[in-house]
């Protein structure tokens, strides 16, 4: 994303690689633009297309694959990819908290770190990884904790898997045992609404969704250990 008055998708993979000459010291990079949209507009079909391309690249001999992604929905996309990634080679997701025009733009450093991790044998078998701000996180533990801070991504329960230090990936922890087996790639995508009830919610929206023919089901984001306003629980 780039721009002076707000930002919009403008740069492709070749642009990003050209801005980081040090990538040539790691290996040969091959780019593919699957989609160029803001991360709130990323769709399941886009992710599945990117996943298929990543599979082909690894099958053709790539040491690893990098997915550049906006940060707003990065943790969701990384988690989905992790459920479906069935190769030992690293699939690394990275992005930027600052646009290229801002002082201290972090995109080039994050991309270089992602390439270092993707090419590291120590990252093999760890599933999908998120590399941001010098830290390496597993997709199953990482979450975005801040809308603007440079250290916006963290793994609150488990801690980071490792860091990139002076051009090398240094693991701090390792997953307990092998990663779970990948799920089968879905033949079709079904959109399931996620409902966030607020204080005083009477369940009107919930019942309206359930009454439509296009709603195959829904996910209710409750409070605490699963608590909801009483009108939602009543038929």
Contacts 24+ apart (CB under 8 A), 157-165: 160/135, 160/136, 161/126, 161/129, 161/136, 161/137, 162/122, 162/135, 162/136, 163/134, 163/135, 163/136, 164/113, 164/116, 164/117, 164/131, 164/134, 164/135, 164/136, 165/134
Tell me the per-residue pLDDT of 163-214, one tens digit each, with 9 for 90 and over: 999 999 999 987 666 778 999 998 888 888 888 888 888 888 888 888 887 8
Question: Is position 182 within any domain?
Answer: no
Task: Mark whether 121 and 209 lie in a shared domain.
Answer: no
Q: Is the pLDDT of residue 51 over 80?
A: yes
Q: Looking at the structure, tell me whether residues 119 and 212 fall in a common domain.
A: no
Q: Which residues span the domain enclosing 200?
A: 194-233
Q: What is the pLDDT of residue 9?
A: 73
* Same domain, yes or no: 143 and 216: no
pLDDT > 80? residue 234: no
Tokens 């306003």 belong to which residue? Answer: 229
Q: What is the dihedral of CA 112, 142, 84, 190, to 10 degrees?
A: -120
Gyration radius of the chain's alpha carbons: 19
pLDDT-above-90 percentage for the chain: 63
200 and 166 assigned to the same domain: no
Residue 226 lies in a domain: yes
Residue 94: φ, ψ to 5° = -145, 170
């Amino acid at each position: 994303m780039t721009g002076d008055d707000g930002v919009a998708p403008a740069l492709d993979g070749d642009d990003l690689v050209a801005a980081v000459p040090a990538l040539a010291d790691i290996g040969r990079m091959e780019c593919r633009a699957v989609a160029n949209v803001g991360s709130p507009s990323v769709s399941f079909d886009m992710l599945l297309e990117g996943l298929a391309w990543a599979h082909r690249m690894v099958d053709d001999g790539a040491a690893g694959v990098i997915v550049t992604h906006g940060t707003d929905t990065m943790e969701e996309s990384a988690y989905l990819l992790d459920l479906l990634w069935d190769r030992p080679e690293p699939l690394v997701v990275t992005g930027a908290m600052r646009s290229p025009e801002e002082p201290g733009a972090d995109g080039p450093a994050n991309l270089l770190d992602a390439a270092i991790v993707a090419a590291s044998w120590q990252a093999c078998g760890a599933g999908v990884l998120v590399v941001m701000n010098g830290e390496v996180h597993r997709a199953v533990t990482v979450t975005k904790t801040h809308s603007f801070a440079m250290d916006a991504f963290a793994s609150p329960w488990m801690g980071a898997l490792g860091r990139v230090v002076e051009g090398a990936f240094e693991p701090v922890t390792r997953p307990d045992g092998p990663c779970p087996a990948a799920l089968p790639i879905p033949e079709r995508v079904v959109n399931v609404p996620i409902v966030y009830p607020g204080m005083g919610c009477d369940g009107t929206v919930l019942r309206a969704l359930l009454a439509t023919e296009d709603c195959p089901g829904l996910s209710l984001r409750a409070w605490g250990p699963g608590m909801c306003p009483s009108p939602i629980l009543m038929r």
